[in-house]
Chains A and B, each alone.
Chain A
Amino acid sequence: MSRIRLEVLQWYALIGGALAWTTEHVLGYFVSDGGCSRQVAHAGLWGGLLVGFAAAAVAAAEAAAITVYRSTSSAAHDAPGPDGRLHFFAVAALVGNVLFLMLVGLDGLGSLSHLPCVQS
């Protein structure tokens, strides 16, 4: 795999999942809040779409992390850059994206479970 492609994949793996969750989390908050104040129509649908897109983006980031990890598996953790750095961040992204996938899933459970707007 070319160096440029590996670089793109590594940075996407490292920050793509994080950005996807952030977008889903912040917009999801506004959608759910707007739904409760009747400013956003079909809030459940929008929330579901956001979760779907975010989950796909995080899964793609995890796939990117796996690809970079496998392509640089011969490099040690403290090997010189760029191989060492690519491998290092791929390991980090492998774990981080699992966490972001879990976060998106939990947000999805929250937004799709039709909780009441008013606290009991």
Chain B
Amino acid sequence: MTVTTAERSLATLERVWQARPGVLGWLTTVDHKRIGLLYFWTTLVFFAFGGTEALLMRTQLATADEHVIGPGGFNELLTMHGVTMIFFFIIPMTTGAFGNYLIPLMIGARDMAFPRLNALSYWLFLGSGVFMYSSFLVHQAPNAGWFDYVPLALKRYDGGLNIDFYALGLIFNGVSSTVGSINIVTTIFKLRAPGMSWNRMPLFCFAMLAAALSLIFALPALTMDCVFLELQRKAGFDFFSPPGGDPLLWQHLFWIFGHPEVYIIVLPAFGIATSIIPTFARRRMLAFPLVAMAELLVAFIGFGVWAHHMFATGISTTTLAFFAAASMAVVIPSTIQVFAWLFTVNLGTPLFRTPLLYIGGFIVFFVLGGLTGIMFAAIPFDQAATDTYFVVAHFHFIIFGAAVFPLFGGIYYWFPKVTGRLYDEQLGKASFFTVFAGTLLTFFPMHIVGLLGMTRRVYTYDSGLGWDVYNLIETIGGFVLAAGILLILVNLIVSWRRNLPAGRDPFNGGTLEWTIPSPPPHYNFAVVPTVTSAYPNWDAADRAHDVEKLAHGESVLADGHQTPTSTVNDAFADPVADMPAESPWPIVVGVAVTAAFFMLLTMHVLVAAAFVAITLLALTGWHADDEDAAWPPSRLARANGWWGMVLFVAAEATLFGTLIGSYVYLGFRNVQWPQAPIAKPHVLVPVLLTAALVASAVPVQLAWRAGRSNRTKAAWRFLAGAFALQLGYFIWQVHDWVDAIHDAPPSRSTYSSIETTMLGFGHAHVLLGLLIDAWLLVQLARRFTPYRLVGLQSAAFYWWAVSVISVAVLLTQESVHL
């Protein structure tokens, strides 16, 4: 029998991409599909935890004067329910599970841009979940609500480890989400199949891009907020306590993260809806560019509405007007999408299969929840209804109805792709109607009890207030909802074991994942796919061209773990990227970081430092085994690593923006700034030192230029010179910083607290840069490879960014002289 070229190519790909079998294979995997599945199952476990917490609370509230749970336990349950559902279920399920599994398949890539970083983000996520849930083992789970308002969360009122678990757990979880988001954005920027310019990218990817960018820019505010809280709780700093500090600072920073968070949760749901609707309406999405723009606009405007959560806190009326306007305007891009979805279904020939039913449910709840959202944008209504069950009803219609329904729809929709089996349609529809009824029963009566005056977070209530019947209905609804979710699980597990094979494309979906076998092979695509529209699976000529390419052995890329890369804007073909294979380092780093956080929690700072050192050693091992790649013959666009650095710097710049904003905000709250008797900072020495730091970025840039023209010795010398200058700057600045802390301890005033923190973060970034330089110096002395050239280019960008940040910090610090 003759072996064809196509068969030979497929056999080679199978061999090259073969995954390590067994548990070890899963622990060391960097395959985006396996990592997506790890995220999926882990988040389902957390969903079960969060759901159980909700059912326990509903049982307690089923009737008046219940005694199932005491007030302390109820506080822990309500806090962990919120934290779990948002940070450990919806975000990791959407970006981690759906994003990881589907984005490379939709854009024609063979993996994410940074496969090992992808694995690391999962292990950090798992570690943060274990960290947070271990709080139950010591009976000290977070207990101040999911937004953890101060002063309730300060040591004076909550002296256990409860809040420390919360603050450290969220900082930890934020690292995982930031790493994952940088990976998603770089993947979408750089790994789209040639031909997939922005206007041909699936709307799902636009939604994931918007969500990932939002995470990168929103999480630093939460991280900084939690850092402030921990510094105040554990080291005696003062950010939130009057007269110098301000408890509203916590709320501002929390909601600068928290409101975009709502859209971060809902945006992937939009993406799933825009995938399912065209498939089952059997036509392309109407108003494609406007829907893409609307997805980005929702994310963007979402950053400008944070204070609408603070209408009842007493902030000035003139300030409130800003946020009321933006809160109402965010409805417009959402409405554009709703009309686009409805008209696409209306103009198509819809098949009301289970996934589309879930999208129908999503639209119903999104519109209802959106309407009550507009009501809250009206300041007088908000002030009357805030902190009642009306708010709980509103956000559960959005967060459960609008965010989770599409997840269920998406699970059904891509189930045949992931497992290769068809699901049971009748059971699917039964699950939809049960879940829909359960959602309505659980959350709709909350509007009524809220308007009747039932406040959120009460652990019990008296009978005779008119709340009893509604609460009983809500509890029954909660159990109906749980039954519906169990039906989904039963359907999927039974179908996976027993049902008919799905084939490549059971629904005639439009995007690239439907062009490959189900389940997808390890290498995803046998050839680099041809893309000429946003619905490539419906372009029969292109698909026939791919078959021809395979038959001739063209564009197979089987010389290792290779994937095509492309230019950011128009997806012109760029050099092929070599992707890493399985690696033990991500899980080693994940375990070490988890241990470090546990040690920080218990204030074993030296042991925590030892685990940080282990992390650094593991990172050295991670980067030591990089194979030499061939020099790229020509490169149209910058490499993945450079984009990763740009996004990392963007997150860090946002962190400093938060610090500087907090400094200005606290300055506004104090008539005297710095507070007496603290002296104003010196001018000359900080200015000269900052000038030296800015100047040190020049030799790093020159090192990259020398490296690019293959003058490796010159590159090393430029970098060594920069390193010496930066090290001198660091030593001098840290010395001054320690002296300043000695003269004016942070525990003495809010000014010293914010000043010390701001400068400390600045120095930490210089230290990080020094570590990057040191690593590059060692590596460049050994070998000079394209991989290290990208490292040099990224280091140059990093130092320019640190220079700009240092100037901003200097200006902020010296602004007291104005």
Contact B322 A88 (CB under 8 A): no
**Which of A28, A95, A102 is close to B290, meaning CB atoms less than 8 Å apart?**
A95
**Which of B325, B570, B667 is close to A80, meaning CB atoms less than 8 Å apart?**
B570
In the assembled complex, A115 has its CB within 8 A of some CB on chain B:
yes
Contact A85 B326 (CB under 8 A): no
Given contacts A32-B318, A118-B316, A118-B317, contact A78 B200 (CB under 8 A): yes
Contact A107 B570 (CB under 8 A): no
Contact B316 A33 (CB under 8 A): yes
Minimum CB–CB distance from A22 to chain B (whole Å) comes to 7
Contact B318 A36 (CB under 8 A): yes
> Which residue numbers of A lie inside 8 Å of B, CB to CB?
18, 21-22, 25, 28-30, 32-37, 39, 77-82, 84-85, 87-89, 91-93, 95-96, 99, 102-103, 106-107, 109-111, 113-120
Given contacts A78-B534, A111-B321, A118-B317, contact A85 B569 (CB under 8 A): yes
List 27 contacting pairs A-B, 8 Å CB cutoff, sorted by A. A22-B300, A29-B319, A32-B316, A33-B665, A36-B318, A37-B669, A77-B199, A78-B534, A80-B195, A80-B197, A81-B197, A81-B570, A81-B571, A82-B569, A82-B570, A85-B197, A99-B332, A103-B326, A103-B329, A109-B321, A110-B324, A111-B321, A114-B318, A115-B321, A116-B316, A119-B316, A119-B320
Write the chain A residue with the least CB distance to B534.
A78
Q: Nearest 9 pairs between A and B by C-beta? A: A81-B570, A110-B321, A81-B197, A92-B293, A106-B325, A88-B199, A115-B318, A117-B316, A36-B316
Contact B289 A99 (CB under 8 A): no
Given contacts A25-B322, A30-B664, A117-B317, contact A95 B301 (CB under 8 A): no
**Which of B303, B332, B532 is close to A78, meaning CB atoms less than 8 Å apart?**
B532
Question: How would you classify the secondary structure of chain B's contact residues: helix, strand, loop or mixed?
Answer: helix
Given contacts A91-B289, A102-B329, contact A85 B199 (CB under 8 A): yes
Write the chain A residue with the least CB distance to B317.
A115
Contact B304 A21 (CB under 8 A): yes
Task: List residues of chain A with CB within 8 A of the CB of B50.
Answer: none
Task: List residues of chain A with CB within 8 A of the CB of B199.
Answer: 77-79, 81, 84-85, 87-89
When chains A and B are docked, how far (Å) is the Cα of A37 from the Cα of B297?
Answer: 32
In the assembled complex, B22 has its CB within 8 A of some CB on chain A:
no
Contact A119 B314 (CB under 8 A): yes
Q: Which of B197, B200, B322, B329 is packed against the most chain A CB atoms within 10 Å?
A: B322
When chains A and B are docked, how far (Å) is the Cα of A116 from the Cα of B572?
Answer: 56
**Which of B198, B292, B303, B319 is close to A81, meaning CB atoms less than 8 Å apart?**
B198
Write the chain A residue with the least CB distance to B306.
A29
Task: List residues of chain B with CB within 8 A of the CB of A107.
Answer: 321-322, 325-326
When chains A and B are docked, how far (Å) is the Cα of A37 from the Cα of B669?
Answer: 7
Task: List residues of chain B with CB within 8 A of the CB of A110.
Answer: 318, 321-322, 324-325
Task: List residues of chain B with CB within 8 A of the CB of A120.
Answer: 317
Question: How would you classify the secondary structure of chain A's contact residues: helix, strand, loop or mixed?
Answer: helix
**Which of A39, A77, A114, A115 is close to B288, meaning CB atoms less than 8 Å apart?**
A77
Contact A22 B316 (CB under 8 A): no
Given contacts A79-B199, A85-B569, A99-B297, contact A39 B316 (CB under 8 A): no
When chains A and B are docked, how far (Å) is the Cα of A113 from the Cα of B314?
Answer: 19
Contact B314 A22 (CB under 8 A): no
Contact A91 B318 (CB under 8 A): no
Encoded as 1 (CB less than 8 Å from any A CB) or 0, chain B from 698 to 720 comes to: 00000000000000000000000
CB contacts between A and B, total, < 8 Å: 135
In the assembled complex, B445 has its CB within 8 A of some CB on chain A:
no
Minimum CB–CB distance from A109 to chain B (whole Å) comes to 7
Write the chain B residue with the least CB distance to A30.
B664
In the assembled complex, B157 has its CB within 8 A of some CB on chain A:
no
Contact A103 B325 (CB under 8 A): yes
Give residues 644-667 of B contacting A (CB, 8 Å).
664-665, 667
- Extra 17 A-B pairs, beta carbons < 8 Å, given A30-B668, A92-B290: A25-B304, A25-B322, A29-B307, A32-B322, A33-B319, A77-B199, A78-B200, A78-B534, A80-B197, A88-B198, A91-B290, A92-B296, A96-B293, A99-B329, A103-B304, A106-B326, A120-B317
Contact B304 A22 (CB under 8 A): yes
Contact B322 A28 (CB under 8 A): yes
Task: List residues of chain A with CB within 8 A of the CB of B300.
Answer: 18, 22
**Which of A85, A93, A103, A118 is close to B198, meaning CB atoms less than 8 Å apart?**
A85
When chains A and B are docked, how far (Å) is the Cα of A102 from the Cα of B329?
Answer: 8
Task: List residues of chain B with CB within 8 A of the CB of A106.
Answer: 325-326, 328-329
Write the chain A residue with the least CB distance to B567.
A81
In the assembled complex, B529 has its CB within 8 A of some CB on chain A:
no
Task: List residues of chain A with CB within 8 A of the CB of B571.
Answer: 81
Write the chain B residue with the least CB distance to A37.
B668
Task: List residues of chain A with CB within 8 A of the CB of B336.
Answer: 95
**Which of B198, B307, B667 is close to A89, meaning CB atoms less than 8 Å apart?**
B198
Task: List residues of chain B with CB within 8 A of the CB of A82.
Answer: 197, 569-570
Give residues 119-150 of B contacting A (CB, 8 Å).
none
**Which of B289, B317, B326 is close to A116, meaning CB atoms less than 8 Å apart?**
B317
Give residues 722-778 of B contacting A (CB, 8 Å).
none
Q: Which of B296, B319, B324 is packed against the most chain A CB atoms within 10 Å?
A: B319
In the assembled complex, B533 has its CB within 8 A of some CB on chain A:
yes
When chains A and B are docked, how far (Å) is the Cα of A109 from the Cα of B318?
Answer: 10
When chains A and B are docked, how far (Å) is the Cα of A88 from the Cα of B300?
Answer: 19
Task: List residues of chain A with CB within 8 A of the CB of B322.
Answer: 25, 28-29, 32, 107, 110-111
In the assembled complex, B333 has its CB within 8 A of some CB on chain A:
yes
When chains A and B are docked, how far (Å) is the Cα of A28 from the Cα of B318?
Answer: 10
Minimum CB–CB distance from A98 to chain B (whole Å) comes to 9
Write the chain A residue with the least CB distance to B380.
A120
Task: List residues of chain B with CB within 8 A of the CB of A22.
Answer: 300, 303-304
Task: List residues of chain A with CB within 8 A of the CB of B533.
Answer: 78
Task: List residues of chain A with CB within 8 A of the CB of B296.
Answer: 92
Q: Which of A35, A37, A78, A93 is packed against the most chain B CB atoms within 10 Å?
A: A78
Encoded as 1 (CB less than 8 Å from any A CB) or 0, chain B from 324 to 341 comes to: 111011001100100000
Minimum CB–CB distance from B597 to chain A (whole Å) comes to 32
Given contacts A77-B289, A92-B290, contact A116 B198 (CB under 8 A): no
